[in-house]
């Protein structure tokens, strides 16, 4: 029996939309400087007036958008220890940007952090009852904690 497969062409956008909670209106950010290439799927976290963006997929680059200056900033590449990945979570805590888990050919169970002041990446050695490797999950930062909940599951039996 032949199997029909339908593939939909995905055209990534490279637009940053801003929703104003005071006026309940949408607008387009007017970005200046080098603009990151368009990609499908991102995870974001805010640091003050800056939005940090990790591009999901096989690249391991981190960009930030300054909401005041309306300018993109490219941070240093994460390097070989932090493989490009889909489905990770980006969390801002204690002045650092944390990349938590994700999928890089296999589900990952590593944690990396970027210090924007020093401009350096580090792989974080963790201890305790570690969550299983996962991607596509939720996180929240509360004080000195990063809380992880849920994960993508394979429903095929």
pLDDT in tens, 75-87: 998 888 888 888 8
pLDDT in tens, 97-149: 999 999 888 999 999 999 999 999 999 999 999 999 998 899 999 999 999 99
pLDDT at res. 157? 54
pLDDT at res. 154? 64
**How many angstroms separate the most distant Cα atoms in the chain?**
59
pLDDT in tens, 32-67: 878 887 776 678 888 888 888 887 667 788 888 898
């Amino acid at each position: 029996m032949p199997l029909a497969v339908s593939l939909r062409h995905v055209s990534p956008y490279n637009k940053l939309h801003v929703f104003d909670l005071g006026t309940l209106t949408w607008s387009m950010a007017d970005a200046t400087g080098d603009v990151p290439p368009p990609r499908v799927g991102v995870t974001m976290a805010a640091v003050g007036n800056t939005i940090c963006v990790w591009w999901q997929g096989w690249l391991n680059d981190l960009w930030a958008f300054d909401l005041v200056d309306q300018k993109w900033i490219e941070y240093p590449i994460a390097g070989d220890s932090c493989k490009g990945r889909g489905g990770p979570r980006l969390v801002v805590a204690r002045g650092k940007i944390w990349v938590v888990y994700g999928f890089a050919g296999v589900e990952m169970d590593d944690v990396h952090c970027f210090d924007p002041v020093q401009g350096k990446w580090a792989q974080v050695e963790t201890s305790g009852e570690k969550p299983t490797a996962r991607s596509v999950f939720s996180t929240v930062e509360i004080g000195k904690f990063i809380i992880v909940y849920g994960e993508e599951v394979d429903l095929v039996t």
